[in-house]
Amino acid sequence: MPITKVTEASSEPVSLSEAKAHLRVDHTDDDTLIGALITAARQDAEARMGRTLLPTSWKLELDAFPAGRCIRLHWPVVTAVTSVKYRDPAGVQETWDPANYQLDATSEPARLCLAPDADWPDTQDDRVNAVEILYTAGWANAAAVPGVIKAWIKLRLGTLYEHRAEVSAGMPISQIPFVDHLLDPYRVWSLSP
- Quote the CA–CA distance of 25 and 20 in Å, as a whole number: 5
Q: Is residue 39 part of a domain?
A: yes
Per-residue pLDDT, 40: 92
Check whether residue 121 and residue 169 sit in a common domain.
Answer: no
Domain-embedded: residue 191: no
- The lowest-confidence range among 52-61, 75-84, 116-125, 168-177 is 168-177
pLDDT exceeds 70 at position 176:
no
43 and 85 belong to one structural domain: no
Same domain? For 46 and 62 the reply is no
Residue 3 inside a domain? The answer is no
Residue 187 and residue 183: Cα distance in Å, rounded? Answer: 6
| Mean pLDDT, rounded, for 67-85 | 96
Per the structure, how many domains does the chain have?
Answer: 2
Beta strand 70-73 pairing with 101-104:
unpaired
Q: What is the CATH number of the domain that holds 21?
A: 1.10.3230.30
Residue 158 has pLDDT above 70, yes or no: yes
Question: In this predicted structure, what is the pLDDT of residue 191?
Answer: 52
In a domain, 119, yes or no: yes
Q: Which domain holds residue 104?
A: 56-137
Same domain for 37 and 83? no
